[in-house]
Every structure is written in C-alpha cells, then in structure tokens.
Homo-oligomer: A and B are copies of this chain.
Amino acid sequence: MPILLDGQPDTFFEAALREAEQGLAEGGVPIGAALAMDGELLAVGRNLRVQKDDPIAHGEMSCLRNAGRRQTYKQTTLYTTLSPCEMCSGAILLFGIKNVVVGEATTFPGNLTMLSDRGVNVTLLSDPRCVRLMTLFQERHPEVWAEDIGRA
C-alpha cells in the first residue's frame, strides 16, 4: 500500500521505491532514491555497486549523479528508501539539501539525528515495503551488504 504524505500517495517516494525494486531484480543492493523540486521529479537512481562494480553508487549518490550539475539544491527534496549512510549524509550536507524523506531506518540506522541536528528536515516513513526489500537482500547476500556499508 502506498505511503501517504500529506494524505496523498507520494509519487516521488514511489519512484524511489521502484528503483529499489529494480535493483533487487538485477541482483543489486535494493536501495532507491529520487530528487524532486516544486512538484517536479528531477532524477531517480539506485544502488549500482553490484551492477556497475561501483562502490560509491549508493542510491542517493546515483540519483544526484543522474540529476547532473545544479547551481543549488536548496529547494529540492531527496527521497530515499533507506536511511542515508555517512557518505550520502555528507553529500546531503555538502549540497545543502534541506528536505529528506526516508523509507526506513530499521535495517540500517544511518545518521538521521545528525542530519536533523544540522538543520535538515527529515521525514521517516517506516514503510514496511522498504524493510522487506532490505531484509530479503541482507539475508540473501550478507557479504555484499557488509561490503556496501564498510563492515566486511
């Protein structure tokens, strides 16, 4: 069932979730992201560690790469199916992204308090669909997951 944001299914978050599902189907780490501004979807992206042999291609990073160069991110919202790691949190702070919508922080806590402390508006959805995707992957490929978060 879609997540409701302000009482409506959020199409941007659903776009991020579709990226995560596509990642799982490809044998990759199932984390997806979307960047939006003023009601417009700017880009989506997904974790491509497995698919592209690219360790920095976390979902959020792929999405930011796909969005291309921007003068500023002040009005953007970043949607991600999983709580951002230190690298992705650093990117959020570097580029001054002020709004982050997070699918879940159950299977990986990330740095949500740090982001909030630094002035980022964080919305945590606790979407069971995201938890299910990550749990499935972590059970199937614990070694890839450990590698992706530097714990191998």
Seen from chain A, the residues whose Cβ lies within 8 Å of a Cβ on chain B are 49, 53-57, 61, 64-65, 67-73, 85-91, 93-96, 147, 149-150, 152
Q: Select A94's contact among B69, B73, B150, beta carbons within 8 Å.
A: B150
Task: Point out the residues of chain B lying under 8 angstroms from A91, CB to CB.
Answer: 56, 86-87, 90
Bound: A71/B146 CA distance, A: 9
Total copies of this chain within the assembly:
2
Task: Point out the residues of chain B lying under 8 angstroms from A149, CB to CB.
Answer: 94
Bound: A138/B84 CA distance, A: 31
With both chains docked as a complex, state the minimum distance between the C-beta of A78 and any C-beta of chain B, in angstroms: 13
Bound: A107/B57 CA distance, A: 28
Bound: A85/B93 CA distance, A: 10
Determine if A54 and B49 form an interchain contact, defined as CB atoms under 8 angstroms apart: no
The list of the 8 closest CB pairs from A to B, nearest first, reads A90-B90, A86-B90, A87-B90, A87-B91, A95-B150, A87-B94, A71-B152, A86-B94
Task: Point out the residues of chain B lying under 8 angstroms from A96, CB to CB.
Answer: 150
A sample of 13 cross-chain residue pairs with beta-carbon separation below 8 angstroms, ordered by A number, consists of A54-B68, A55-B69, A55-B70, A56-B61, A56-B91, A69-B147, A70-B147, A71-B152, A85-B90, A86-B90, A87-B87, A87-B93, A88-B90
